[in-house]
Amino acid sequence: MNILSLLIFSPLLFGLLIVVLPTSLRNLFRYITLIATLVQLVLSVWLYIHFKTGAAFAGVNHEGQYQYIEKVHWIGLNLGNMGKMQIDYFVGVDGISILMLMMSSVVMVIAALSSWEINKNHKGYFALFLLLDMAVTGVFCSLDFFLFYIFYELMLLPLYFLIGIWGGVRREYAAIKFFLFTLFGSVFMLLVMLGLYFSVKDPATGYHTFNIIQMMNPANYDKDSIFSILSHQTLFGFPARTVGFVVLFIAFAIKVPVVPLHTWLPDAHVEAPTPVSIILAGVLLKIGGYGIIRICLGIFPEVAISGAFWLGLLGVISILYGALNALAQRDLKKLIAYSSVSHMGFVLLGIASQTAEGISGAMMQMVSHGFLSAMLFYLVGVIYNRVHNRDIYSFRGLGTLLPKYTVFVMIAFFASLGLPGFSAFIGEAFSLLGAFNSHVFNGFLPTWMAVCGSVGILLSAAYFLWTLQRMFFGEIHLKGGEIWKLALTDLGRREMIALLPLALLTLALGVMPSLAFDKINDSVLALIQFIHTK
Amino acid sequence: MSMLSSFLLISAGLFCIGIFIVLSKRNAIQILIGIELMINAAILNLVAFGKYDNLANSGQVFALFAIVLAAAAVAVALAIILNVYRQYKTIDPAKVERLKD
Amino acid sequence: METTLSHTDIITIQLAIAAVAAPFVVFLLNFFLVPKRSKVSGMLSGAAIGASLVLALLIFFRVWNQPALHVQQVWFTIGNTQIRLGIWLNNLSVLMLLLVSAIALPVHIYSIAYMKGDERYTRYFTYLSFFCFAMLALVVMDNLLLLYAFWELVGFASYLLIGFWFTREKAVQANKKAFIMNRIGDIALLTGIMLVYTHYHTFDLVTLFGAHPIKTTREVWVTIAGLCFLMGAIAKSAQFPLHTWLPDAMEGPTSVSALIHAATMVAAGIFLLGRVYPIFDSTVLTTIAVIGCFTAFMAATIALTQTDLKRILAYSTISQLGYMMMAMGIGAYSSALFHLATHAFFKCLLFLAAGVIIHEMQHLKHKHHLQIDTQDINNMGGLRKIMPVTFITCCVAALALIGFPLTAGCLSKDGILIQGFAWAEGKSWAYSIIPIGAVLTSLLTAFYIGRLMFKVFFGESRLEGISTDSEPEAHEENPLLYLPMILLALGSLFPLFSLDPLKFENAWIVKGFAGFAGKAESAGELIPLLISALSVGVVFIAYTVYVKQKLQWLKFKGVLFNISYNQWYIDSFYNGVIVKAMVGLSRAVAWFDTYVIDGVVKLVAGIGLVLSRVSAWIDKYLIDGFLNALTYFVKQTGNFIRGFQTGRVQGYLFTMLIIVLALYILKTFI
């Protein structure tokens, strides 16, 4: 059994187990889910440790260099004179995906630990949770566009229900907004996907194919097909390839999220229950970044090159805009949601620079943000669970009341704002460095972009420290008075078990970035080489 | 004007009178009279054309037939009118409009 | 590790690593293991820093004026680039190493007594050890990226320590302000680092600025990079315009102020300038000199009117740092570092003394149930009678600050002034503003420190009903408090720095940095003598005003006084304009997000809904309406035809007649 397939489908098996068990066994579902995520974690750690590095295993556009490949002929519908429809079940990892898998496994465990607080419809919740888990893992592994699309869409459904049923006050609004917004992007992606399908022929079998790696190779395109580089077709007056890139980019940009397509995020994050927020922020946003790297940069590199300025500009706007918005928020969860927008702006900036430092920095930032946002949302959840209030101005002086909690909050806040010693510093510094370098190296991004991006570091210090000062320091003054004082107990054992690994991981990555970089370096170099030979 | 034409003219006149009586009278018996008149007009026609018979006296025989039929018709009609009177207490055909939609 | 190192060199490097690591180990111990209020924490921290001091001494004697030592190894690889981490021990590194540990040790000893009884005693020493670790690491790091990393960590330690008493509103406002203002400098520093990396493809300080430094070209980016590094230093060393965090940072414990905000962390900015010195071109150097001189002058004028004891010292620090920066700018590299070293001693001492004074004032406050601000010098007076040791050591420090002969401060300040005049020689008249400004500042320094001394120690107590003659001897009987002060006082005198009290060039520090020395002096010893004489005169004036209470007209409360007292309104400007603007901007952006961007999304959703309603209307009234109309038509037709069934036989007959006639006519005639 291919280990990747095991990794992808094991949550589904556990989910089925939950579905068949009677509804009354509430506690058992929690543990089953925890075990499922732990199993996944063990598998991905195994994958990570045995992942081979070196130029021969770079992957990206060489199918043979991917690892743990499973390619099974799945759908082969004979369409008469249109040829044979070839859809394969094709999964594999390279340097870019392995890190994402690792990170999403860890985040899922934390989310499973956080799911203890769910108090209604446990069976449905945990079944949907595991379905989501499967979909997310599948997205990171799949190398066939159709399969990718299936998993991508499959993510939306459980999330809609998870937000809409177990969420906060405005949950239906948030769920529908999230669902429709994301769907809007992905339906157009479907069109481009089909366009690509009809443009590309698998050299081995001669049929059209959805294989992403083969879509990266311009030699596989039919002469007059719509997305061929040589044919210079136009769609609505624009070059077809540009349209394809833009449409795909919009689909992933909604997920990243890039300003101005980000407005679903504050609502979704705020209304979702804590574990769902953790998954949303920790994993889903990265799918957008991963999609941009794998699909947009991979399949339409020349458009990415010519549009690098705009991508970088969007990144800088996201950084500054997200940070300014975060500064103005009263709701702690909304503040963290906007800070996510800001931090993902660094990712986009790094990707746009198309230098080794930039893309590596962007990937590090994705991993780092995955851990840190999971930590941040977990911490918000701790307070919310106790007093059902997230307003910053309702609390003062929590440092005296909850010392252990404050320590973790300070770790999370300072790590997020880029204090050296933690992973976000490496991610942000190298994204900016890449953007800076780009001016000299490949002339894509002007230097002022990196400088503006670094102002984002200043703003993140501003809003995080202001929140620390408002909520945790000073004399104790709680809106709910004595009742809240009694309710606000310090971190329990389960919460510490969830938070401590995250803190240690971000510290480890900050002190030893080679843990991440060693795996991705070859792939990043291969990617850049691939992009620049277009 | 020939003899025949004058007979036909009279019979036509009788017929029209008969139609007029049928269409305009408010009494069923009077309508019957009108019908009789129409039949008699037809009989007169038959007798008038008796001159040109192929068979011997066929016109006259046909006329006798018609007279008998007329009598039978009147008998039946009177029976119907009697029943109608019993049912509707009137013999004004304008008042018997149960088949109206 | 390079294999060309000799055995002794390897030992030196290991000693350096140990010196940096010792406080870190204690940090971890104090954080995880030692209980909250245990005395062990203080002893551990003190022991660690003592060990660091010993090691620093050993290293110093091995490396000073010897060839520099540099080892590195690969930290991680990114793309094709290897990022290294390593240690660089040259004169500057070992001087700083020694200085930091030498100042930190007395402060640790002092803190053991000063923080006694505090709720979070252990946590204090945790933070203090962390700071020492970060600072020591900062001075030995060999590449820009790690320098930046520890630069930020030092700032973080400062944040933790300023806000140590985090239930105090002012303290937590202050530490937030400090961190954010330092971040502004950090951004600039990062930009500078990135610029350097982009052009030279290395972070390595030795390659860039070591024995064979890079030759900078006359390009714009060099100037910009230099300005960026300068900005970083400005933020960290509290120069104009990023100086307002330092007076607020006095909210932290006084021992922290002594160590971090007087002697070591704020000196990191000057240290940075020293490290990257070859990158500065003449434009940037002039800018450095101007900013330094201006800051020195400005801070001195503010210090003249402040009433909070620690604030006066804070502004004094800013002013002296301005001197150091100015010295860097005019090329007096060695004098700047010399002044850094001497300033560390006497300023630290002044702060420690301030701590003792404030403790005594608190003691008096409790004893006599007064409601006073214990840090206000207007509430003090005559304290020399009850705190003689403090008084004497303070005098030594004050004399060093003024630059009185026979103190170490005199030597370092002389160096700066003399070299200042030498630098301005031969240039246009505008350049002489700088040394003249320095001289003026020097006189102002004399005045404000004289004012402080006279108001605090001389005369009679300004507190109601208290006579200092009758008060018992103060707190200072604790040797842990006064021994460090005495040690620092001894360090403020000339013998520690030079066996020749008159010529600054003979100080061993100056000799150690001769390679960077500026021009030779010409007007020589005349200037410092003149200044010393003038300073004495100024001090006498201060004496007259504050002790003898004459010359009251000098204390005018006019516009200049207000400007000085309100710190040139800079802080009010920042709070009122910049902070409000940022908050306002963020609110505007949030409004924009909710109503404009999300408004577009909602508009799209709304359009969808409207379209769906329109479509429903069309469906109901148009399409369905058409069908309904059809049926209506059919129905009406039926109704019409029905009318023909009147039930009247005669009617039927009549109709039949008409139709037959009509047909007959049609057939026959048409």
Burial of A39 (0-12, 13-18, 19+ CB in 10 A): middle
Q: CA–CA separation, B26 vs A491, rounded Å?
A: 110
pLDDT tens-digit series, residues C357-371: 888 888 888 877 777
CA A117 to chain centre: 24
Residues of chain C neighbouring A521 (CB-CB closer than 8 A)? 77-79
Nearest C-alpha of chain C: how many angstroms from A95? 12
Residues 232-261 of A with CB under 8 A from C: 259-260
Q: CA–CA separation, C256 vs C485, rounded Å?
A: 15
Per-residue pLDDT at C215 exceeds 80: no
Mean per-residue pLDDT, A266-280: 93
Residues 97-156 of A with CB under 8 A from C: none
Q: Give the chain A residue whose CA is nearest to the CA of C76.
A: A514
Task: Kindly list the partner chains of chain C, i.e. chains with 3 or more CB atom pairs below 8 Å.
Answer: A, B
Q: CA–CA separation, A43 vs A137, rounded Å?
A: 12
Q: A291: pLDDT confidence band, cut at 50, 70 and 90?
A: very high
Q: Which of A270, A404, A408, A454 to mutate to test the interface with C (most CBs of C within 10 A)?
A: A454
A385 in contact with C at a CB cutoff of 8 Å? no
Q: CA–CA separation, B13 vs B38, rounded Å?
A: 10
Nearest C-alpha of chain B: how many angstroms from C628? 25
Residues of chain A neighbouring C589 (CB-CB closer than 8 A)? 321, 324-325, 328
Cis omega (within 30 of 0) for bond into A11: no
Exposed e or buried b per residue across A158-185, where buried means at least 16 C-beta atoms within 10 angstroms of its C-beta: bbbbbbbbbbbeebeebbbbbbbbbeeb
Q: B61: pLDDT confidence band, cut at 50, 70 and 90?
A: very high
Size of interface B-C (CB pairs under 8 A): 30
Per-residue pLDDT at A344 exceeds 90: yes
Q: What is the pLDDT of residue C372?
A: 74
Q: Does an interface of 3+ CB pairs under 8 Å exist between B and A?
A: no
Record: contact C601-A177, CB cut-off 8 A: yes
Cβ A382 vs Cβ A469: under 8 Å: no
Cβ A289 vs Cβ A256: under 8 Å: yes
Cα angle value C551/C553/C555 (rounded, 5°): 100
Nearest C-alpha of chain C: how many angstroms from B60? 29
| Closest CA relative to residue A177, chosen from C486, B99, C606, C276 | C606
Mean per-residue pLDDT, B70-83: 95
Q: Give the chain C residue whose CA is nearest to the CA of B100.
A: C647
Q: CA–CA separation, A226 vs A248, rounded Å?
A: 15
Residues of B with a Cβ under 8 Å from any C Cβ are: 19, 22-24, 31, 93-94, 96-101
Candidate from B93, B100, B101 with C-beta closest to C650:
B93
| Closest CA relative to residue C90, chosen from C18, C142, C152 | C142
Q: C5: pLDDT confidence band, cut at 50, 70 and 90?
A: low
Residues of chain C neighbouring B31 (CB-CB closer than 8 A)? 650
ipTM above 0.95, yes or no: no
Cβ-proximal residues to A181 (8 Å cutoff; 6+ apart), any chain: A254, A261, A263, A264, C601
C639 in contact with B at a CB cutoff of 8 Å? no
Q: What is the pLDDT of residue C552?
A: 61
Of residues A33 and A238, more confidence is placed in A33
Q: CA–CA separation, C491 vs A515, rounded Å?
A: 47
Per-residue pLDDT at A214 exceeds 50: yes
Of residues A42 and C264, more confidence is placed in A42
Of residues C618 and A439, more confidence is placed in C618
Domains delineated in chain B: 3-88 (1.10.287.3510)
Helix or strand or coil: residue A86?
Answer: strand
Summary mean pLDDT of chain B: 92
A49 in contact with C at a CB cutoff of 8 Å? no
In degrees and rounded to multiples of 5, residue A424 shows phi and psi of -65, -30
Give the DSSP H or E segment for A238: strand A238-239
Per-residue pLDDT at A369 exceeds 90: yes
Record: contact A440-C153, CB cut-off 8 A: no
Mean per-residue pLDDT, C247-256: 90
Q: Give the chain B residue whose CA is nearest to the CA of C650.
A: B23
pLDDT tens-digit series, residues A92-142: 888 889 999 999 999 999 999 999 888 888 899 999 999 999 999 999 999
| Closest CA relative to residue C400, chosen from C458, C338, C474 | C338
Q: Give the chain B residue whose CA is nearest to the CA of C657.
A: B19
Q: What is the pLDDT of residue C63?
A: 84
Other beta carbons within 10 Å of C472 = 8
Mean per-residue pLDDT, C404-409: 81
Q: What is the pLDDT of residue C183?
A: 92
Q: CA–CA separation, A346 vs A416, rounded Å?
A: 12
pLDDT tens-digit series, residues C477-506: 677 788 888 888 887 887 777 766 666 666
Other beta carbons within 10 Å of C641 = 10
Per-residue pLDDT at C338 exceeds 80: yes
Q: What is the pLDDT of residue C477?
A: 65
Cβ A259 vs Cβ A342: under 8 Å: no
C198 in contact with B at a CB cutoff of 8 Å? no
Mean per-residue pLDDT, A346-370: 93
Q: Return the sign of the alpha-carbon dihedral for residues C163, C168, C171, C176.
A: positive
Q: What percentage of residues in chain A have a pLDDT greater than 70?
A: 99
Candidate from A324, A473, A521 with C-beta closest to C589:
A324
Per-residue pLDDT at B25 exceeds 80: yes
Q: What is the pLDDT of residue A68?
A: 84
Task: Record the tokens describing residue C364, joined without a space.
Answer: 């008096």
Q: What percentage of residues in chain A have a pLDDT greater than 90?
A: 53
C642 in contact with B at a CB cutoff of 8 Å? yes
Residues of chain A neighbouring C172 (CB-CB closer than 8 A)? 469, 473-474
Candidate from C642, C647, C650 with C-beta closest to B23:
C650
Per-residue pLDDT at C474 exceeds 60: no
Cis omega (within 30 of 0) for bond into C501: no
Q: Give the chain C residue whose CA is nearest to the CA of A363.
A: C78
pLDDT tens-digit series, residues A415-429: 999 999 999 999 999
C655 in contact with B at a CB cutoff of 8 Å? no
Candidate from A262, A328, A425 with C-beta closest to C590:
A328
Record: contact A432-C184, CB cut-off 8 A: no
Summary mean pLDDT of chain A: 89
First to last CA, chain C: 127
Q: C594: pLDDT confidence band, cut at 50, 70 and 90?
A: confident
Nearest C-alpha of chain A: how many angstroms from C511? 36
Mean per-residue pLDDT, C433-447: 87
Least confident of A55-69, A326-340, A374-388, A506-520: A55-69
CA-CA distances (angstroms) from residue C408 to C65, C317, C403, C500, C502?
Answer: 21, 16, 8, 10, 10
Q: What is the pLDDT of residue C551?
A: 60
Record: contact C589-A325, CB cut-off 8 A: yes
Q: What is the pLDDT of residue C434?
A: 85
Q: What is the pLDDT of residue A429?
A: 93
Record: contact A518-C79, CB cut-off 8 A: no
Q: C1: pLDDT confidence band, cut at 50, 70 and 90?
A: very low
A526 in contact with C at a CB cutoff of 8 Å? no
Q: CA–CA separation, A10 vs A5, rounded Å?
A: 8
Per-residue pLDDT at C266 exceeds 90: no
In degrees and rounded to multiples of 5, residue C357 shows phi and psi of -60, -45
Instruction: Tell me which DSSP letter residue C308 carries.
Output: B
| Closest CA relative to residue B60, chosen from B40, B36, B44, B38 | B44
Q: Which of B19, B35, B100 to mutate to test the interface with C (most CBs of C within 10 A)?
A: B100
Q: Which of C586, C598, C612 to mutate to test the interface with A (most CBs of A within 10 A)?
A: C586
Q: C3: pLDDT confidence band, cut at 50, 70 and 90?
A: low
Cβ B80 vs Cβ B57: under 8 Å: no
Record: contact C649-B19, CB cut-off 8 A: no
Q: What is the pLDDT of residue C68?
A: 80
Nearest C-alpha of chain C: how many angstroms from A129? 28
Residues of chain C neighbouring A262 (CB-CB closer than 8 A)? 597
Q: What is the pLDDT of residue B63?
A: 94
Mean per-residue pLDDT, A43-48: 92
Helix, strand, coil share of chain B (percent; to 5)? 80, 0, 20
Residues of chain C neighbouring B22 (CB-CB closer than 8 A)? 650, 653
Cβ-proximal residues to C104 (8 Å cutoff; 6+ apart), any chain: C49, C52, C53, C132, C259, C264
Q: Does an interface of 3+ CB pairs under 8 Å exist between C and A?
A: yes
Record: contact C645-B94, CB cut-off 8 A: no
Summary mean pLDDT of chain C: 84
In degrees and rounded to multiples of 5, residue A73 shows phi and psi of -65, 120
Give the DSSP H or E segment for C82: strand C81-89
Q: CA–CA separation, C179 vs C163, rounded Å?
A: 11
Candidate from C156, C199, C593 with C-beta closest to A325:
C593
Q: At what angle do helices C282-303 and C309-329 cross, to 10 degrees?
A: 160
Other beta carbons within 10 Å of C458 = 17
Candidate from A327, A356, A465 with C-beta closest to C79:
A356
Record: contact C79-A450, CB cut-off 8 A: no
Residues of chain A neighbouring C78 (CB-CB closer than 8 A)? 356-357, 360-361, 430, 513, 517, 521
Per-residue pLDDT at A445 exceeds 80: no
Per-residue pLDDT at C651 exceeds 60: yes
